[in-house]
Amino acid sequence: MPSPRRSVEGRPLGVSASSSSSSSPGSPAHGGGGGGSRFEFQSLLSSRATGVDPTCARLRASESPVHRRGSFPLAAAGPSQALPPPLPEEDRMDLNPSFLGIALRSLLAIDLWLSKKLGVCAGESSSWGSVRPLMKLLEISGHGIPWLLGTLYCLCRSDSWAGREVLMNLLFALLLDLLLVALIKGLVRRRRPAHNQMDMFVTLSVDKYSFPSGHATRAALMSRFILNHLVLAIPLRVLVVLWAFVLGLSRVMLGRHNVTDVVFGFFLGYMQYSIVDYCWLSPHNAPVLFLLWSQR
């Protein structure tokens, strides 16, 4: 029996178009597939109007974040899917520090390294440990208590108004130095170097701090005061300047202070004399003070 002729589509010629349309529920004529056909038709029209390939349009639509599997719009995120809160400011890493911060940290590192290298008398087992007793004797020469006691003794023994005036201002300078150094040490609270031995001569509560060096401020203050109010020969004047410099250097060699403590101490002592010279006490501007002292 001859086989029935088939159409180009592979269906028998006797099968009608209606039966084929009813047997395929996903065909465009079926009611369930009308939405898909309209979507494809609208996308085709929009692609022709804009000049975009419909295949590319479908690929872009499928690759969008909304249509990807596991993705969701940010506005539709629930409470359980909320983004984590930002880190506090102290927990964030500063990836772009300022130039001033880098410079200060570099100077601090150089200061600590140089102070440790120069601390050759910090202990008996150091490279210059045998010179340590001499350095400690030099330390006593710049202490505040000997200078205060010596100034008070000379003031009591003085019998001239000019001498009393100079000694009164010297006492004022020493008291100002003690006050300013103690105030700055209490505010800064910089610890002494780790290689220091706390065997200093007559220390107070603020002497556990390092910045600034009280011996350096006193050395600069006293050397400038002596050079301006005592008539000395040139060798003696050179000796006074050399004493101030060696005293400041000994503070680093003994491990008492860092280099910046001594440098700032020299600057502070130099400025303290300027304050004393500006506020110079005399029988004209402070007569009560001189009268009280003369009655004693």
- Cα(97)–Cα(68) distance, integer angstroms: 41
Residue carrying the six token digits 């031995």: 197
**Quick check: is 79 in a domain?**
no
Cis bond leading into 2, ω under 30°?
Answer: no
Q: Nearest to residue 175, comparing CAs of 275, 78, 41, 40?
A: 275
Structure confidence by residue, pLDDT tens digits, 65-87 = 444 444 444 444 445 556 666 65
Q: Give pLDDT, residue 89.
A: 53
**Quick check: is 276 in a domain?**
yes
Low-confidence spans in the chain with pLDDT less than 70: 1-97, 292-296
Query: How many Cβ atoms sit within 10 Å of the Cβ of residue 99?
Result: 7
The count of domains in the chain is: 1
Out of 30, 67, 257, 284, pick the active-site residue: 257
Structure confidence by residue, pLDDT tens digits, 228-239 = 998 889 999 999
Domain that holds residue 150: 136-196+218-295
**Quick check: is 268 in a domain?**
yes
**Quick check: is 126 in a domain?**
no
Out of 67, 143, 195, 215, pick the active-site residue: 215
Q: Give pLDDT, residue 296.
A: 58
**Quick check: is 185 in a domain?**
yes
260 within 8 A of 111, measured Cβ to Cβ: yes
Q: Is residue 284 annotated as a catalytic residue, yes or no?
A: no
Q: Is residue 257 annotated as a catalytic residue, yes or no?
A: yes
**Quick check: is 86 in a domain?**
no
Residue-averaged pLDDT of the chain: 75
**Quick check: is 284 in a domain?**
yes
DSSP 175: H
- pTM, 2 dp: 0.64
Q: Give pLDDT, residue 243.
A: 94
Both tokens of 48, joined, read 């022709």
First to last CA, the chain: 154
DSSP letter for each residue of 124-163: TTSTTGGGHHHHHHHHHHT-HHHHHHHHHHHHHH--SHHH
**Quick check: is 108 in a domain?**
no
